[in-house]
Amino acid sequence: MPNKLRWTLEKIQNGFERFKKEAGRFPTATEIDSCVYLPSSRQIQRRFIGGLPALRKQLKLDGPLDFTKGVYSSNRAKSINKRAHNLEREIYKYLVQRFGKMYVHREYFFTDDRRTRTDFFIYHRDGTFSVDIFYPKDRRNLSGCLNNKLRTYSNTIMLQYPVIFLMMNDNITEEEINGLLANKKQKLSSYQKVMTLRQFKNFCGNKKNVA
């Protein structure tokens, strides 16, 4: 990690300008963290009172000061929700074709409190399994997504059933997933699997239908 004394205001500004030339806009906090010619967002937070919004204001950068608020945040949320809906629709269509509509439960709630839920719950001849779809934008985001999934699926009721964490970003390879899982401190349980779409279809292909 570069020493924080290296990061003068001028160098940080040059880094922001370089990113804009490459991407057509200034970076978000996550993009700053993955950028080799900028300090981490945490370093910026420690050094500048008010964090990234204050730094953006001091550098007089155009665009939003805070990417977590306003139109940018709203548009980003809409885009994520639309993608999630399309991915769920794609997987639902596949599961229905594979197992039959009556054996595929969409947005399945494990309890009446309607908080412990999974995207799909499937019945096959030898048992059941659930599917949780997610789309990490990169390898770093994949790790964070999995940590959230493991917290969500730590509920005793949800631990009764096998779960597939279906990773839908084709730009993240199976080798990258395996490498991340091998180095992960919090290990998945034996009945929790992370799969790409190809692996998932192979998995479903080996299951026998109820009927």
Could you tell me which residues come within 8 angstroms of residue 201 by beta carbon, excluding any fewer than 6 positions away? 94
Tell me the whole-structure pTM to 2 decimals.
Answer: 0.63
Give the span between the Cα atoms of 15 and 60, in whole angstroms. 14
Is the CB of residue 37 less than 8 Å from the CB of residue 15? Answer: yes
pLDDT band (50, 70, 90) for residue 58: confident
Spell out the domain ranges in the chain: 4-68, 80-205
Could you tell me which residues come within 8 angstroms of residue 83 by beta carbon, excluding any fewer than 6 positions away? 135
The model's pLDDT over 76-110, given as tens digits with 9 standing for 90+, comes to: 445 545 666 788 999 999 999 999 999 999 988 88
Tokens of 75: 């548009």
Give the span between the Cα atoms of 198 and 101, in whole angstroms. 22
The model's pLDDT over 168-201, given as tens digits with 9 standing for 90+, comes to: 999 999 999 999 999 888 888 888 999 999 999 9
> For the chain, how many residues are written?
211
Number of Cβ within a 10 Å radius of residue 115: 10
Tokens of 96: 């229905």
CA nearest to 44, candidates 35, 53, 34: 53
Is the CB of residue 104 less than 8 Å from the CB of residue 92? Answer: yes
